[in-house]
Structures are given as structure tokens and as C-alpha cells.
Structure 1
Amino acid sequence: MQSIRIKQVNEVKISKYILKYTFEDWNNLVESDVVIVGAGPSGMTAAYYLAKAGLKTVIFERRLSFGGGIGGGAMNFHKIVIETPADEIIKELKIRYIEPEEGIFIIDSAEFMAKLATAAIDAGAKIIHGVTVDDVIFRENPLRVAGVAVEWTSTQMSGLHVDPLFISAKAVVDATGHDAEIISVASRKVPELGIAVPGEKSAYSEIAEELVVENTGKVAPGLYATGMAVCEVKSLPRMGPIFGAMILSGKKVAEEIIKDLRNS
């Protein structure tokens, strides 16, 4: 068997390369067009369409993985449900499916996560793991959300007090899921924005899917809700392991932001 010659790279060079190119990315993304908080289904779908439209888009995800609630499926079973018309998106992203009845599509959760992430990244979006967004930046005259404050998730978990870095953005998207964490912070700390967060209702899948998509969008100047965060803000029912509304919501919020930024 022929021996394999592996390029020799010493430890200092490894560190230098990582630091150099990481900070090139951070220096670029501190002024972004759109910051999305949460790499779940709606957040990654939004990132795909926003980046595809040429907007500088970054997703901050507190975990060291992407997918949000996709991976857990229903009680850790690895199949999830998508329904019409969300199948147009999974077909666009070449996600394989089974169609047990007309308009219902069963897809593999791992493939769904991987291909959503790949689509967003290939379109030009950045996904940065291990970063928690714990506050917003706001401006007056006119009153608006103008970016976010970020910290390493590991720093927060350790209980250390470390001041954040700031990332400016023309639009901030709360894709944090059930708790609508970013909108909740903004409603509490910038009451002038006039945001209420009444909380989501219990499950009613038949109506929740349409209601989530209908209510997706701007909640205050510069601040938008997508996915399950919409349920929290608009007091809508939850729907469980059916994800059509999540990706349709991500597409809708992207379309609204694109329109708003082009008209600003």
C-alpha cells in the first residue's frame, strides 16, 4: 500500500490561519444588511432568500449546530411533515420526500437541516455558531432597531460578566422560536417601540400554519418576526412537527425585508 504524504502544518501556523480569516469575516459582518437570530427552519430559509437577493446576511446561532427544532422532530423521530404550498421550497432545494397523500410531504429531518443550511451558505449567508444575541441596538429620530449585541454562548454559560460586541443591521429577524427572545428583550428594554408579547397558545395545527404565515413580518421598525416567534408575539396556537409554515414564514419575512430595504 502506498503511503499517504500529509502536508505538515505546525501549531502556530494553524492558529494564525484561523485567527486571520475569522477576523476578516467578523470585520466584514459588523456592518450587515440583515441579522437573523436563530438557525432554525425559518431563519435559514429567510437567510437563503435574503442572501440570494444580494443582501449581506448573517445568522447568529447560540448552539454549535443548526436546525433548531428540526432535529428533535416529534419525540426524536427523524421524519417531519411539510404541506402544500411549502413543497415548492423543498423542491427548489432538492430535498427528497415521500408523498403519502396529495399535498402532504414526509421528509428526513437530517436532510432538511443540511440542505437548508447549505442553500443559505451557498447563497452567500454566514452562519456563526456559539454566539448568543442578548440585546438590540436602537436609534431615535426615527425610532428603530438598528442592530444587535452579541456574546459567546460559552461566556454566558460560565456566568462571567463580559460586555458584548455590537453588530449593526438594517433589519433584525427574530427566529429564536417559542420564546421570541429578541422581540421580548426589545419590548422590555425599549418600551417606546410599543411591542407586546402575550405568548403562544396551545396546539391547533389546522389553523396555526396559515396564521403563522399571515402574521409573519415587521413588529417594529427594523425588527421582524418569523417562525414560532410569530406565535409568541401574536398569541397564536402552536402546531407541532409540521414545518410548512416555518419555511413559508422564512420566505415571507425575506420578501418583506427585501421590499422594505429597497424602498428605504
Structure 2
Amino acid sequence: MPLDERIITEAIFDEYALKFKSSLDLDVAIVGGGPSGLTAARLLAADGFNVALFERKLSLGGGMWGGGMLYNIIVVQEESVHLLTDVGIPVKRYKDNYFTADAVTATTALAAAACLAGAKVFNCLSVEDVVLREVDGAKQVTGLVVNSSPVEMAGLHVDPIVLGCKYLVEATGHAVEVLKTLVRKNDVKLNTPSGKIEGEQSMWAEVAETNTVTNTREIFPGVYVAGMAANASFGSYRMGPIFGGMLLSGEKVAADIAKKLRG
């Protein structure tokens, strides 16, 4: 049977339109496709919620892709191993509480598992702003403003479009891009000691790994922080190429939001 290029185009357009339209009113929007965002997307979608993940880059995985300094092996600790093995990622005990996995296997498996669970992934889409509303007398984030990443990179003056969400997960890593935009453009206070983004401190893996999970919480009405964005928001340390805390942060934010959504 001959191939018709027009039908190929039609199939892409129709299916993408369905995918996007089904994301106009989300239970959860996750910004950032690193290990915490992918884990949260998988668990929330598996729980039956309408979830979409937005990644600025073409590829998913965040810092996990490169392991440490492009040596593409990752390290996790025992308490987080289940979040890899649950999606079929082979893990090896290195010694004591240190386990290793292939970084490419880990990132691709986490991404595939999120999609197969029902999460919708939009790569090359940048979140350039949020939607604020007054809810019960207080400001709350109720949506996100997205644009094409190539448009953003080229600096073109092209208006964005808007999607609604009940909760937004800020998982953009060290940059905390969504929170920075929220604070810069609006007279709001965050749920941090100073009411602002506290900023990331230097390397201290042991403390950072624990704090990544501890700091995973609602930082502003409708907005949760996860992964390295949680530590950068609350002034904790960076942890380098160990990813257990990132995975556990994704698990925690999924559980916390699922509880809220169920009421």
C-alpha cells in the first residue's frame, strides 16, 4: 500500500491535538522532566489523575542523563532502589548503601514508565508564566502559561497559550524557573523562612539528600516544589550525581498531592 505524506501529517496533527486538548484542565502539571518530575508523573498518572509533564528541552531526564561528569552511571541509596526496580531498571549493589544503575537505562525507563502509566509528556514546551487567581481571599496558582521552546530561544514575540491545573509541581532543578517568575512578577510570599527563594548552597550530599525529601512540600498555594528545586527554594545544599533523594522527592510529592486531590 503506498504511503501518503499528507495522511502522515494529518495523523500527527490530529493525535497531538487530542493530547493537548485533554491537558487543558489538568489535575497536576509538572514542570521539569528530571527524575523527580518523571517519578511524580508516573505515580500520579497510575493513580488515575490527569497529569501532564512539560520539559523545555527535546530530551527528558534532566541531570540524570549524564551521570557524573558524563560518566553515565548513576548512584542511589538503598531506600530509593525500589523506584528504579519497580519500572524494570537493573540495579547493582556497589558497596554498603551505594547502588548503581546505567544512566541511559534509568532515564529512558523512567520516561517510558510515566508515559505508559498515562502521563502526557510535552517536550520542547517552556513554561514562561503561571496563572494567578483569588481563591478564598488568597492568591493561588491555577494554571500555567506555555510557549514553544524554539520560540523562546529565538526571542520571537509570539504570544503563549494557557492550560489549567489544580496543582503545579516546580521541578525545574537548580534554576527554580517557575518560582522565580512567580516571585519576580507578583507581590507574593513563599512558604520559606524569608518568604523568598532561599537559594542553593554548595555541595554536601549527605545533608542534601535528606533535605531534598524534607523540603518537598507546598511552597505557595497550588505550587509544590520537588527535586533540586526543593533544596534551592529552602536554602539547602546540592548533592551532585546521587539521585536517590530526587526519586524519593518525586514519590513524596505524588503522595502529598494525591491526598489533597482525594480530599
Contact kept, 8 Å, 2:81 with 2:91, in 1: the verdict is no
Aligned to 2:155: 159
Give 1:103 deviation, angstroms: 2.3
| Superposed CA RMSD | 1.1
Contact kept, 8 Å, 2:77 with 2:244, in 1: the verdict is yes
Give 1:183 deviation, angstroms: 1.1
Give 1:54 deviation, angstroms: 0.6
Q: Does 1:251 align with 2:251?
A: yes
1:54 to 37, 48, 51: 48
Gaps of 5+ in 2: none
Partner amino acid, structure 2, of 1:252: K
Give 1:193 deviation, angstroms: 4.2
Q: Does 1:175 align with 2:171?
A: yes
Q: Does 1:12 align with 2:6?
A: yes
Q: What CA distance in whole angstroms lies between the structure 1 residues aligned with 2:85 and 2:4?
A: 45
Contact kept, 8 Å, 1:46 with 1:254, in 2: the verdict is yes
Contact kept, 8 Å, 1:138 with 1:145, in 2: the verdict is yes
Aligned to 1:198: 198
Q: Secondary structure at the match of 2:231?
A: helix
Contact kept, 8 Å, 1:47 with 1:125, in 2: the verdict is yes
| Runs of 4+ deviating beyond 2 Å | 190-195
Aligned to 2:262: 262
Aligned to 1:148: 144
1:89 to 83, 88, 94: 83
Aligned to 1:112: 106
In the TM superposition, 1:28-67 aligns within 5 A as: 28-67=22-61
Q: What CA distance in whole angstroms lies between the structure 1 residues aligned with 2:214 and 2:85?
A: 22
What is the aligned residue count?
Answer: 257
Higher mean C-alpha displacement, 108-117 vs 10-19: 10-19
Contact kept, 8 Å, 2:26 with 2:164, in 1: the verdict is yes
The sequence identity of aligned pairs, in percent, is 39
Partner amino acid, structure 1, of 2:256: E
Structure with larger Rg: 1
Contact kept, 8 Å, 1:36 with 1:60, in 2: the verdict is yes
Q: What CA distance in whole angstroms lies between the structure 1 residues aligned with 2:87 and 2:227?
A: 19
Aligned to 1:130: 124
Give 1:41 deviation, angstroms: 0.4
Q: What CA distance in whole angstroms lies between the structure 1 residues aligned with 2:180 and 2:2?
A: 50
Contact kept, 8 Å, 1:144 with 1:193, in 2: the verdict is no
Give 1:204 deviation, angstroms: 0.4
Q: Secondary structure at the match of 2:64?
A: coil
Contact kept, 8 Å, 1:65 with 1:129, in 2: the verdict is yes
Q: What CA distance in whole angstroms lies between the structure 2 residues aligned with 1:198 and 1:106?
A: 32
Q: What CA distance in whole angstroms lies between the structure 1 residues aligned with 2:117 and 2:85?
A: 16
Gaps of 5+ in 1: 1-6
In the TM superposition, 1:171-250 aligns within 5 A as: 171-194=167-190, 195-250=195-250
Q: What CA distance in whole angstroms lies between the structure 2 residues aligned with 1:100 and 1:155?
A: 44
